[in-house]
Amino acid sequence: MISRALLIWVVMAVLEVFQGVLRVRLLNRHVGDRRARQLGVISGSIVNFIVVWLMLPWLGAESSNDL
């Protein structure tokens, strides 16, 4: 289970880097740096939630202690 959790962590890190690049390249131009960072927190949280929600069955945690 630890190796699967680490793989999920790597997927989340890669997606966060990708999301950060998109934020800098697209949002900064239109809404400014401060607002883009605020929106980045929201979109990053949503991305993380979706990844965890999709990967949770694959992780194989059978109890709340496993989580």
Task: Indicate the angle between helix axes 2-22 and 33-59, nearest 10 degrees.
Answer: 160
Average pLDDT over residues 32-59: 91
Domain span at residue 35? 2-59
Give CA–CA dist 65/61, Å, rounded.
8
Predicted confidence at residue 11, as pLDDT, reads 93
Asked if 54 contacts 8 with a C-beta cutoff of 8 angstroms, the reply is: no
Q: Compute the distance between CA of residue 22 and CA of residue 6 in angstroms, rounded to an integer.
A: 24
The answer to the question of residue 27 being in a domain is yes
Q: What is the amino acid identity at position 46?
A: I
Whether 66 maps to a domain, the answer reads no
Task: Examine residue 29 and state whether it is found in any structural domain, yes or no.
Answer: yes
Across the range 39-65, mean pLDDT stands at 88
Averaged pLDDT for residues 9-35: 92
How many structural domains are present in the chain? 1
Asked whether residue 64 is assigned to any structural domain, the reply reads no
